[in-house]
């Protein structure tokens, strides 16, 4: 009598990987990870000295709303928990990390737009970036602020993409270059954007650069000039934020 055929090892390994993947995507995993993230951000926020430059920036920004707040990838982790005083909508990708981030952002009273950009037009369409762009544009036209990372996901770190520039041009809203840095931090050097994890018991600096206005009739050359200007302002604000922590980059 023939013995039953046992599943091959590759098939068993694939089945195990699928089980682990499904557990990782479960509501329990999402809820637990989100709560841990919120707990950690609160710990960091409550144990850090917060320095803001300019000190009266909120008085300057409030009358100019709606605003586009531009930040670099890798510097955004602590942003939802900081007492900046401006609520906003943020475009967040549709993956596990994005779902966790969305829950954290919404916990602090902000709104989310579930989409992400890409390094080329095909990727942008696949990830819903065009729909996300239109939703952000509509949000600004409804007089609400938005937050957008200025560099393209998994592209060239700290190089401003045209997405945020086009959003500023079409909406007429000024772009606010914003940088966040902490004296106690861990840099994930293998990540494409050198993500900085803010840590407790230190100093965190928030620096706002000069607002960038994009003319609605700007031609290609003018848009490139605005792109370079925003890039320079973000880099300047970032450098200054690290200086204010007492531990420059």
d(CA 100, CA 186): 20
| pLDDT for the residue 121 | 45
* Residue pointed to by tokens 């390094």: 119
In a domain, 107, yes or no: yes
In a domain, 2, yes or no: no
> How would you classify the pairing of strands 89-92 and 185-187?
unpaired
If the chain, 249 residues long, is cut into consecutive pieces of 10 residues, what is the mean pLDDT of each piece?
56 53 69 94 96 93 95 91 83 81 90 67 52 90 93 87 94 97 95 94 97 96 97 98 94
| pLDDT for the residue 21 | 53
Q: Considering its fold, how many domains does the chain have in total? A: 1
| pLDDT for the residue 86 | 80
Q: Calculate the CA 164 to chain-centre distance.
A: 12
Indicate which CATH number applies to the domain containing 181. 3.40.1130
d(CA 6, CA 3): 9
| 18 token code pair | 């699928």
- Which residues span the domain enclosing 201? 9-245
| pLDDT for the residue 87 | 83
Nearest to 176 by CA among 203, 201, 221, 206: 206
What is the model's pTM? Answer: 0.83
In a domain, 51, yes or no: yes
To which H or E segment does residue 94 belong? none
């Amino acid at each position: 009598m023939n013995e039953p055929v046992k599943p091959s090892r590759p098939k068993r390994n694939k089945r195990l990987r699928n089980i682990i993947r499904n557990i990782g995507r479960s509501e329990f995993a999402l809820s637990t990870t989100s709560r841990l993230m919120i707990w950690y951000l609160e710990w960091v926020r409550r144990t850090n000295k917060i320095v803001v430059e300019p000190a009266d920036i909120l008085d300057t920004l409030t009358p100019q709303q709606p605003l586009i707040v531009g930040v670099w990838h890798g510097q955004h982790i602590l942003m939802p928990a900081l007492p900046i005083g401006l609520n906003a909508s943020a475009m967040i990708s549709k993956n596990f990390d994005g779902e966790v981030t969305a829950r954290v952002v919404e916990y602090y009273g902000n709104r989310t737009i579930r989409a992400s950009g890409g390094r080329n037009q095909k990727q942008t369409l696949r990830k819903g970036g065009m729909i996300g762009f239109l939703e952000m544009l509509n949000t600004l036209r409804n007089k609400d602020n938005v937050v957008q990372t200025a560099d393209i996901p998994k592209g060239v770190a700290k190089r401003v993409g045209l997405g945020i520039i086009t959003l500023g041009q079409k909406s007429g809203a000024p772009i606010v270059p914003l940088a966040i840095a902490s004296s106690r931090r861990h840099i994930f050097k293998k990540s494409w954007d050198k993500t900085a994890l803010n840590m407790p018991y230190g100093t965190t600096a928030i620096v706002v650069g000069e607002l960038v206005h994009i003319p609605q009739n700007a031609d290609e050359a003018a848009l490139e000039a605005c792109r370079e200007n925003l890039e320079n302002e973000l880099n300047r604000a970032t450098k200054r934020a690290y200086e204010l922590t007492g531990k420059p980059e």
